[in-house]
């Protein structure tokens, strides 16, 4: 649901992921673009003597570009040693890596944890035989599913981390920590709460900071999401524990007990609102066994985008789906729910599971999506104890390997409006209110093609000097091309504050991804 306020775009970049901006089109099609792997092998994998089983999946690693020094920093989880036919490992710990160019990551010696004479890059979590102290307050417990976020408004708690403590047979006790440098961490003096759920929460947490509202946005699971009034006589009741596969009742939202994503917000990182479901398996797009596993959120202008982990129970695999929203709560699937990033199958290191946990990092004219991947299936660690016996459970050390790769996409290049010869295309926007002076387009023109832009009043009348014939044609490829009209780069000033105007854009053998009035 939207109204005219959504078309008061100010100076924010605009994307063509839906029809919000479009009044009419001729001979145009929307094309969806997917990130492409940058490297054949992972850029981070287990290659140090103290690294056991790195867990690059939802939500066990975070990659953020620090705005103060420009470095790209990665906090990632090692779930510890794995043995055949066991339940979820609990001797988890957190490690740190850093990159200057976004591709080559160093694992610096931090001077915090020494193992077998090695100064490691471990910064928190379980260390065999260690005693908790100020250097590592959680040395005798596991740190699982840690969400790291940078708070630019704070100096003492510039880095925040929310995670679940793991012990033998116990998980999901939520804890918060803070740090000034992202390496030396301190516990909060109290446990976090989540509205009426109290301290109850499941794992899988991704958190971003919204600079406009100064709220932390937390996408997670509800502690009671599997609780539903399933009939006591349901045939599935007797074997649920063994199968770990919730009975599904199509058309019964009151019995929905699949994995799904909830949103909660906080101003202080400790006191969170009631989690609200924002991504639930859909009966039209999703299959009978599809679950929504986790979500990472980022923004382009006022548009909220999310990389959703889509888990297929039967195949025991995971892919990434792109979602979009105009308010951060009501999300819709992009590209009719088709994968944004999928496992590569075959003998690839990410052949069964992929995940995108963090917002993309801009490197030049591209977005870098740091993605997890695995050559193992999802439930390898449940398989043995619950009689789902298979090779990965019998020999996990041979089959269970995770890594982190990079997939790149044109900056803000998620979807484009495309026209091909012999039919040129035309786009007319809805009336828009903006206060910038120059129009820049994100566009790519192919051989013998061109893009021209005209300015119209809200009734569709041409504004003198800014017609299509006045526009200097764009024939290149740029993420920010400043449109000019016979030497003029500045748009005419609005006749009155809040005036609405339209753009008419002709597209010939070319595609346009978006625009911004700056």
What local confidence, expressed as pLDDT, does residue 1 receive? 56
- Same structural domain, 122 and 176: yes
What local confidence, expressed as pLDDT, does residue 389 receive? 73
- Same structural domain, 318 and 184: yes
- Same structural domain, 260 and 394: yes
Query: Taking Cα atoms as reference points, which of 130, 119, 69, 116 lies closest to residue 96?
Result: 119
Q: Is the dihedral of CA 6, 11, 12, 18 positive or negative?
A: positive
- Same structural domain, 8 and 91: no
Domain boundary among 410, 432, 452: 410
- Same structural domain, 167 and 249: yes
What local confidence, expressed as pLDDT, does residue 234 receive? 65
Give the domain range for residue 162: 36-226+243-410
- Same structural domain, 168 and 88: yes
- Same structural domain, 273 and 181: yes
- Same structural domain, 313 and 402: yes
pTM above 0.85, yes or no: yes
CB-based contacts of 435: which residues, under 8 Å, 6+ apart? 10, 11, 494, 517
- Same structural domain, 304 and 405: yes
Asked whether residue 100 is assigned to any structural domain, the reply reads yes
Asked whether residue 466 is assigned to any structural domain, the reply reads yes
Q: Are 363 and 102 in contact (CB under 8 A)?
A: yes
Residue the block writes with tokens 């998620």: 414
Asked whether residue 337 is assigned to any structural domain, the reply reads yes
E strand spans, 326-471: 331-333, 339-341, 353-356, 361-363, 366-374, 402-410, 415-419, 425-429, 432-433, 439-457
Secondary structure (H, E, C), 104-116: CEECCCCCCCEEC
Q: What CATH number does the domain containing 332 carry?
A: 2.115.10.20
What local confidence, expressed as pLDDT, does residue 477 receive? 98
Domain boundary among 378, 410, 442: 410
What local confidence, expressed as pLDDT, does residue 236 receive? 57
State the DSSP H helix or E strand holding residue 380, giving kind and residue range, or none if neither.
helix 380-383
pLDDT below 50 — which residues of the chain? 239
Q: What is the C-alpha separation between 344 and 348, in angstroms, rounded? A: 6
Q: 101-119 burial, b for 16+ CB within 10 Å, e for fewer?
A: ebeebebeebebbeeeeee
Asked whether residue 455 is assigned to any structural domain, the reply reads yes
Write out pLDDT tens, residues 446-503: 999 999 999 999 999 999 999 999 999 999 999 999 999 997 889 999 888 889 999 9
Q: What CATH number does the domain containing 498 carry?
A: 2.60.120.260
Residue the block writes with tokens 């409006």: 417
Asked whether residue 231 is assigned to any structural domain, the reply reads no
- DSSP class of residue 352 equals S
Q: What is the C-alpha separation between 187 and 132, in angstroms, rounded? A: 12
Asked whether residue 237 is assigned to any structural domain, the reply reads no
> By three-state DSSP, how is residue 140 classified?
coil
Largest CA-CA distance found in the chain, in angstroms, rounded: 78
- Same structural domain, 359 and 461: no
What local confidence, expressed as pLDDT, does residue 382 receive? 62
Domain boundary among 377, 410, 443: 410
What local confidence, expressed as pLDDT, does residue 192 receive? 95
Secondary structure (H, E, C), 465-487: CCCHHHECCECCEEEEEECCECC
What local confidence, expressed as pLDDT, does residue 390 receive? 80
- Same structural domain, 81 and 15: no
Asked whether residue 238 is assigned to any structural domain, the reply reads no
Q: Are 95 and 122 in contact (CB under 8 A)?
A: yes
Asked whether residue 234 is assigned to any structural domain, the reply reads no
Decide: residue 22, CB within 10 A, 0-12 exposed, 13-18 middle, 19+ buried: middle
Write out pLDDT tens, residues 73-117: 999 999 998 888 776 778 999 999 999 999 999 999 999 999 999
Total tally of structural domains belonging to the chain: 2
Residue 114 C-alpha from the chain's centroid: 33
Write out pLDDT tens, residues 23-65: 999 999 999 999 999 999 999 999 999 999 999 998 899 999 9
- Same structural domain, 307 and 428: no
The number of CA neighbours under 13 Å toward the Cβ of 271 is 2
């Amino acid at each position: 649901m939207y109204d005219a306020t959504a078309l008061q775009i100010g100076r924010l970049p605009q994307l063509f992921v839906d029809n919000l901006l479009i009044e009419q089109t001729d001979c145009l099609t929307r094309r969806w673009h997917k990130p492409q792997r940058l490297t054949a092998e992972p850029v981070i994998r287990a290659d140090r003597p103290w690294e056991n089983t790195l867990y690059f999946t939802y939500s066990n690693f975070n990659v953020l570009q620090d705005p103060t020094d420009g470095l790209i920093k990665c906090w990632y989880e090692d779930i510890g040693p794995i043995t055949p036919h066991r339940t979820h490992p609990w001797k988890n710990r957190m490690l740190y890596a850093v990159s200057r160019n976004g591709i080559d990551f160093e694992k610096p010696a931090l001077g915090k944890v020494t193992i077998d004479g090695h100064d490691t890059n471990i910064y928190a979590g379980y260390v065999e035989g260690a005693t908790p102290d100020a250097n590592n307050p959680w040395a005798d417990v596991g740190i699982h599913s840690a969400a790291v976020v940078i708070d630019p408004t704070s100096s003492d708690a510039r880095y925040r981390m929310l995670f679940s403590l793991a012990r033998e047979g116990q998980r999901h006790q939520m804890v918060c920590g803070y740090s000034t440098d992202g390496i030396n961490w301190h516990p909060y003096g109290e446990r976090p709460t989540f509205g009426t759920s109290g301290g109850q929460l499941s794992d899988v947490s991704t958190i971003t900071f919204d600079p406009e509202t100064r709220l932390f946005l937390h996408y997670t699971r509800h502690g009671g999401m599997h609780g539903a009034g399933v009939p006591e006589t349901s045939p599935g009741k007797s074997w649920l524990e063994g199968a770990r596969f919730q009975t599904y009742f199509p058309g019964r939202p009151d019995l929905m007990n699949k994995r799904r994503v909830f949103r909660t917000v906080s101003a202080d990182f400790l006191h969170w609102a009631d989690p609200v479901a924002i991504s639930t398996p859909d009966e039209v797009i999703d299959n009978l066994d599809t679950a929504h596993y986790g979500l990472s959120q980022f923004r382009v202008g006022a548009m909220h985008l999310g990389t959703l982990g889509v888990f297929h129970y039967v195949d025991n695999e995971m892919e990434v789906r792109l979602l979009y929203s105009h308010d951060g709560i009501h999300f819709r699937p992009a590209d009719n729910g088709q994968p944004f990033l999928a496992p590569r199958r075959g003998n690839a290191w990410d052949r069964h599971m992929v995940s995108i946990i963090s917002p993309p990092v801009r490197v030049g004219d591209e977005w870098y999506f740091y993605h997890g991947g695995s050559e193992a299936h999802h439930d390898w660690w449940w398989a043995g104890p619950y009689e789902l016996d298979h090779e990965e459970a019998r020999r996990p050390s041979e089959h269970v390997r995770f890594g982190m790769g990079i997939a790149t996409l044109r900056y803000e290049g998620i979807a484009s409006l495309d026209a091909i010869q012999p039919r040129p295309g035309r786009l007319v926007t809805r009336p828009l209110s903006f206060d910038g002076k120059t129009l820049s387009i994100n566009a790519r023109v192919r051989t013998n093609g061109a893009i021209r832009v005209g300015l119209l009043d809200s009734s569709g009348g041409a504004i003198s000097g800014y017609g299509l014939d006045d526009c200097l044609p764009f024939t290149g490829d740029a993420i920010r091309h400043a449109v000019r009209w016979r030497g003029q780069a500045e748009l005419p000033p609005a006749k009155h504050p809040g005036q609405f105007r339209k753009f008419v854009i002709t597209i010939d053998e070319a595609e346009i991804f978006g625009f911004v009035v700056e």
